[in-house]
Amino acid sequence: MKKIAVVGTGYVGLVTGTCFAETGNNVTCVDIDERKVEQMRQGVVPIYEPHLDVIFERNIKANRIKFTTNLEEAVEEAEIIFLALPTPPGEDGSADLSYVLGVAETLGKIIKEYKVIVDKSTVPVGTAELVTEAVAKHANVPFAVVSNPEFLREGFAVDDFLNPDRVVIGTEDEKAKQIMTELYKPFIRDGHPLIIMDEKSAELTKYAANSFLATKITFMNEISNFCEKVGADVDMVRKGIGSDSRIGHKFLYPGIGFGGSCFPKDVSALLKSGKAVDYHFEIIDAVLRVNEGQKTSTVDKLVSYYGDLSGYTFALWGLAFKPDTDDIREAPALYIIEKLLQQRAKIKAYDPEAMENVKALLGDKIEFVDNQYDALEGAEALLIATEWGAFRNPDFDKMKELLATPTIFDGRNIFELDRMETEGFYYSSMGRKTIVPRPVTKEA
């Protein structure tokens, strides 16, 4: 059993804290958001993340996890302090380290014995040195700073944390190596590697992983755009290349671009880090440019189909940046909405989990409805921006009744082309042929 403090209880901090409690440790979570801390004290998980509520409740009951707004109280007994703080993009695209360095400086003032300070936030190469300097400004006890990047995905966060593909630990402090190895032992029982390296390599591993995955998606989006021009089917190409084990099937799904709180910001931050040392990442630069256009490519298709969009009402299924989350940070749906509003089109939107977050952002600029079918009533066409499970097998007859015309623009390729053909929809998707319903002819 280890005593742990987790500073910042967002998607990463809360999952980290809960999963370490689940493996028998004693965890105190700290956040400056009083409302959030109060909610958690009442046993409420403040974010939507599948399966988190079950282990959260279990560990509160077992007294292994508690919540506070008081940093000093939280770190007093803790041997390991995790920083799971935001590192949002600054105005120039580089990572804003003010949260991390601010807390590091405060830690220097309050730690009274050896602590392992672990950076779990995604931070640029060299941040461990900055954290060390910030803590050392006031600390008069020994401490170690460890880089321990997090690779969990929203929507699968608990499973990714409990069964990681790998754990990366960046430190050259022998005592910290031993403490971190003991802490992570329960998570690597299945033979997944715990890779110990220097701090800088650990920090870069995180950016390299996210940028590689964003590149893989973007490459496929370009292949998909090309498929549309030449009449090839991206689904076939995806299966064809994914079967090569050197390429693999994962992250080859074309769509309306990558979003979320990580890929866009981390890819931009890597580009910025390169610039700082006079290195221009050509590929990363192109990935960001292609993704910009991809996010609103569906609106371009609407314009070429309808011409002027003013006065048209469109149904929008999906607001979250991907299914199984309420997170709307950098969600492609928001870019689609912005562009449609610029064109004076009206939008009726539905998302199973993310509507409250979008309401807080957009107010009554668009209409929000209570279920996926209400969005269709009187709408000219349906736009699909997120591939939620509930959208995959809908009542097509009801859809045809409700829509003004049976027309779908699918940014996530959730329907089979054959099915769209038999159901009689006009169906435009990504990198596949457009299905145009055959005119009804009278039988002879």
Ligand X SMILES: O=c1ccn([C@@H]2O[C@H](COP(=O)(O)OP(=O)(O)O[C@H]3O[C@H](CO)[C@@H](O)[C@H](O)[C@H]3O)[C@@H](O)[C@H]2O)c(=O)[nH]1
Ligand Y SMILES: NC(=O)c1ccc[n+]([C@@H]2O[C@H](COP(=O)([O-])OP(=O)(O)OC[C@H]3O[C@@H](n4cnc5c(N)ncnc54)[C@H](O)[C@@H]3O)[C@@H](O)[C@H]2O)c1
**Residue 317, contacted partner among ligand X, ligand Y, none, CB below 5-8 A by kind:** none
- In 3D, which of 43, 83, 36 has the Cα closest to residue 65? 43
Q: Would you count residue 273 as binding ligand Y (CB under 6 A)?
A: no
Q: Based on CB atoms, which residue is closest to ligand X, 257 or 406?
A: 257
- In 3D, which of 341, 355, 340, 353 has the Cα closest to residue 409? 340
Say if CB 314 and CB 302 are below 8 A apart: yes
Give the three-state DSSP class for 219: helix
Q: Return the structure tokens found at 254.
A: 């074309």
CB of 26 to ligand Y, least distance (A): 19
Out of 2, 33, 156, 417, the only residue in the binding site for ligand Y (CB under 6 A) is: 33
173 marked as binding residue: no
Out of 4, 5, 217, 336, the only residue in the binding site for ligand X (CB under 6 A) is: 217
285-288 LR contacts (CB < 8 Å, sep 24+): 286/218, 287/211, 287/214, 287/215, 287/218, 288/264
Q: Would you count residue 321 as binding ligand X (CB under 6 A)?
A: yes
**Residue 340, contacted partner among ligand X, ligand Y, none, CB below 5-8 A by kind:** none
Angstrom distance (rounded) from CA 284 to CA 248? 21
**Residue 253, contacted partner among ligand X, ligand Y, none, CB below 5-8 A by kind:** ligand X
Burial 267-295 (b: 16+ CB within 10 A, else e): bbbbbbbeeeeeeebeebeebbebbeebb
**Residues that contact ligand X, how many (by CB under 6 A):** 21
Q: Would you count residue 210 as binding ligand X (CB under 6 A)?
A: yes
Residue 96 CA, distance from chain mean position: 18
Q: Would you count residue 161 as binding ligand X (CB under 6 A)?
A: no
Q: Would you count residue 30 as binding ligand Y (CB under 6 A)?
A: yes
Angstrom distance (rounded) from CA 435 to CA 430? 12
Q: Would you count residue 153 as binding ligand X (CB under 6 A)?
A: yes
Q: Return the structure tokens found at 222.
A: 């370009």
**Residue 321, contacted partner among ligand Y, ligand X, none, CB below 5-8 A by kind:** ligand X
- In 3D, which of 352, 354, 317 has the Cα closest to residue 336? 317
**Active-site residue, 227 included:** no
- Residues of span 81-110 touching ligand Y by CB under 6 A: 84-87, 99, 102-103
Residues in the chain, how many? 444
**Residue 263, contacted partner among ligand X, ligand Y, none, CB below 5-8 A by kind:** ligand X
Q: Based on CB atoms, which residue is closest to ligand Y, 149 or 406?
A: 149
Q: Would you count residue 384 as binding ligand Y (CB under 6 A)?
A: no
251 marked as binding residue: yes
Out of 9, 215, 268, 298, the only residue in the binding site for ligand Y (CB under 6 A) is: 9
Angstrom distance (rounded) from CA 310 to CA 308? 6
Q: Would you count residue 324 as binding ligand Y (CB under 6 A)?
A: no
What Cα–Cα distance (Å) separates residue 274 from each residue in 1, 127, 128, 291? 41, 15, 18, 19
Q: Based on CB atoms, which residue is closest to ligand Y, 206 or 301?
A: 206
**Residue 336, contacted partner among ligand X, ligand Y, none, CB below 5-8 A by kind:** none
175 marked as binding residue: no
Instruction: Give bridge partners of residue 347 from the DSSP assignment.
Output: 314
Burial 178-192 (b: 16+ CB within 10 A, else e): ebbeebbeebeeeee
CB of 12 to ligand X, least distance (A): 8
Q: Would you count residue 252 as binding ligand X (CB under 6 A)?
A: yes
User: Catalytic residue positions?
Assistant: 262
Binding stretches for ligand Y (CB under 6 A): 7-13, 30-33, 36, 84-87, 99, 102-103, 121-122, 150, 152, 154, 261-262
- Residues near ligand X (CB under 6 A) are 122, 150-154, 210, 213, 217, 251-253, 255, 258-260, 262-263, 266, 321-322
